[in-house]
Amino acid sequence: MSTLKQYDSATGKFVPVAYSGRDAESILNSLVAHKAETVSHVASFTRDVSITGLQVIEVPFKVKSIIAIGTVTGTKIFSEGFWGENNSARALYTAPDENYYSDTSIIALSPSSGNFAIAYVQAIEDYTITLNWQKSGSPIGTATIHLLFQTH
């Protein structure tokens, strides 16, 4: 018998846990299998910022978190955002006045004053995510979007 330690949240201490050689082999096999899994995926696309509606993106796993970067061609407009599986999202973006602002979407692009293209994560399924694109005003331009999807 060998021992390893496991955290006991009730006592706040690490306590010994016994395991047999067979259990150790099983643990090692699980770790090796987990290392071989795909845990991230990148998708890139362009999109007309004046278009609203749902956009479905295929992914190789159920997404746990997303990092998003977006720009509008020919401008200094930039958006960085993230989404977590607790359905919480934040975007930091530059506006035409060259100041930074924050939004509760995953992507916020403002190519001209008062005109926005905004994407929210609408749904996460086993092999797809759905973005809900909305707009305020009359945004024009072409956005380039890069998304990093992560799972565990």
What digits encode the pLDDT tens for the residues 81-126? 999 999 999 999 999 998 999 999 999 999 999 999 999 999 999 9
pLDDT at residue 35 above 70? no
Which amino acid would we find at residue 30? S
> What integer pLDDT is reported at residue 19 of this predicted model?
56
CA distance 79 to 72: 9
Mean pLDDT of 30-34: 64
Percentage of the chain with pLDDT > 90?
68
Per-residue confidence at 79, pLDDT binned at 50, 70, 90?
A: very high
Which of 103, 114, 117, 113 has the alpha carbon at shortest distance from 145?
117
Q: 143 and 75: one domain?
A: yes
* Range in 16-25, 37-46, 136-145 with the lowest mean pLDDT: 16-25
Which structural domain, as residue segments, surrounds residue 11?
2-36
Q: Kindly state whether residues 30 and 49 are assigned to the same domain.
A: no
What is the domain count for the chain? Answer: 2
- The structure tokens listed for 28 are 């090692």
What pLDDT does 152 receive?
A: 80
Asked if pLDDT for residue 44 goes beyond 80, the answer is yes
Place of tokens 């699980």: 30
Is residue 13 located within the same domain as residue 44? no
How many CA atoms does the CB half-sphere of 26 hold within 13 Å?
A: 5
Which pLDDT band, with edges at 50, 70 and 90, does 61 fall under?
very high
CA distances from 36 to 33, 40, 61 (A): 5, 12, 14
Q: Does 3 score more than 60 pLDDT?
A: no
Q: How confident is the model at residue 143 (pLDDT cuts 50, 70, 90)?
A: very high
Q: Looking at the structure, do residues 125 and 145 belong to the same domain, yes or no?
A: yes
- 6 and 81 fall within a common domain: no
Identify the bridge partners of residue 147 per DSSP, sorted by sequence position.
43, 68
30: number of Cβ within 10 Å: 10
Instruction: Assess whether 104 and 139 both reside in one domain.
Output: yes
Average pLDDT value for the chain: 87
